[in-house]
Amino acid sequence: MAKIKNIEFKNFRNFQAFKTAFDDRLNIFFGNNGCGKTNILEGISLVAKGRGIRNSHISNLINKKGENFLIKNSLDIKDNHFDIEIFSENTNNKFKKIIKINDDQSKDSVNFLYQSISFLTFVPEMERLFQSTPSYRRNFLDRLIFSGKNKYNTLINKYKKLLIERIKILQNDIVDIDWLNNVEQEICKFGLEIYQLRFSQISSINKNINNLKKNHNFPLNIHLLIKDDFVGENTTFEEYLSNLLECRKFDSKYGKTKIGPHRSDIIAKVNNDFDASLLSTGQQKTVVLMILLAQCNHLVNYKNIKPILLFDEIGSHLDEHNRQILLDMINKFDIQFFLTGTDKNLFSFVSTNAQFYNISDI
């Protein structure tokens, strides 16, 4: 898999110009809030499919003194070297991200890049994952699936477009029943595929957490579940379709589809006793790090994928347990890490060699 060797920004976020090389293992950015640490991680993440770790509109990535941004980086992929350019392009007042690989922006080249790179991310909002919205938790789970299946977002997008199309049909003055039936069958097909991938992902996390307990003294016992009032792991296509048909009147009235994977929630049971939403911020961070460790173990040891880890502001709420989980990840896996925090001393527990970057001095 890929290792990122260096990066260069021009008119990206708060950087008019920025350039640095990276260590193949551990890179730690520190500095005051607002100095651009997260922007660096965001710039790194744009080499993958999508709009980066913040999912920002492309126009918002451009420095106010520039008309477009440019990101250059070099990647080593399976002992081959690739020069990457990522830049914004404005066509008819619509900005989009363009990627070139060795000056080639063909679909085949871009798909090769997407298939060769995988990210696992942590952002500060995840410290309240189980007190956040179901939508945020679904997106968290979907990012984990995406880290091992880079075409997963295409499936999600197709499903969302079908939901919109169905509501438009239902709210027409004259409903085309044949059209509606075809759309609902497609919704069930894609919806069940999403459900199965999510159930499989949850099962994998639980299994890997249990396996890792043999060598890790986790402070909490965690079991993840998908909560859904209409569809379960064994729901058939016919049952799903029947439920969807019964909801037509409701969905037409309220302009939304009542059932489906877009309505599910992900919960975590702690010590087989209570919900993770009752945990403190630091404890929720522990759960998230346990999940990321489990996913990393799954990707590396069972999928032959070496993800790149982007952990933003990971330095806060790092108690003894969280430090140990993070340190286990660093020591256990031969992968590339990019970590940020406000102070270099927050990472004094790191026992392996690390490259430190003081972003406040830029």
Rounded (10°) CA dihedral 300, 301, 302, 308: -10
- The answer for residues whose C-beta is within 8 angstroms of residue 210's C-beta and 6 or more apart is none
Which residue's entry shows tokens 């980086």? 73
Rounded (10°) CA dihedral 76, 124, 356, 13: 70
Q: Cα–Cα distance between 244 and 192 in angstroms, integer? A: 13
Q: What is the pLDDT of residue 217?
A: 86
**pTM score, whole prediction:** 0.94
What is the helix (H) or strand (E) element at residue 71, kind and residue range? strand 70-77
CB 308 within 8 A of CB 152: no
- Torsional sign, CA 239, 148, 349, 129: negative
Residue 225: closest CA among 134, 330, 98: 134
CB 130 within 8 A of CB 223: no
270: region left, alpha or beta (phi > 0 left; psi from -120 to 50 alpha)? beta
CB 251 within 8 A of CB 170: yes
User: What single DSSP character describes residue 104?
Assistant: B
- The answer for residues whose C-beta is within 8 angstroms of residue 150's C-beta and 6 or more apart is 48, 49, 114, 115, 118
Residue 291: closest CA among 100, 130, 172: 130
Q: What is the pLDDT of residue 155?
A: 97
Beta-strand pair 26-30/308-311 = unpaired
End-to-end alpha carbon distance in the chain: 31
Q: Cα–Cα distance between 355 and 345 in angstroms, integer? A: 14
Residue numbers of the chain with a pLDDT score lower than 70: 362
Q: Cα–Cα distance between 307 and 314 in angstroms, integer? A: 17
Q: Cα–Cα distance between 4 and 24 in angstroms, integer? A: 7
**CA dist list (Å): 142 to 129, 158, 217, 225, 235:** 14, 14, 27, 14, 20
The SS3 call for residue 191 is: helix
CB 338 within 8 A of CB 41: yes
Q: What is the pLDDT of residue 362?
A: 67
CB 35 within 8 A of CB 45: no
Rounded (10°) CA dihedral 206, 211, 213, 218: -30
CA 50 to chain centre: 10
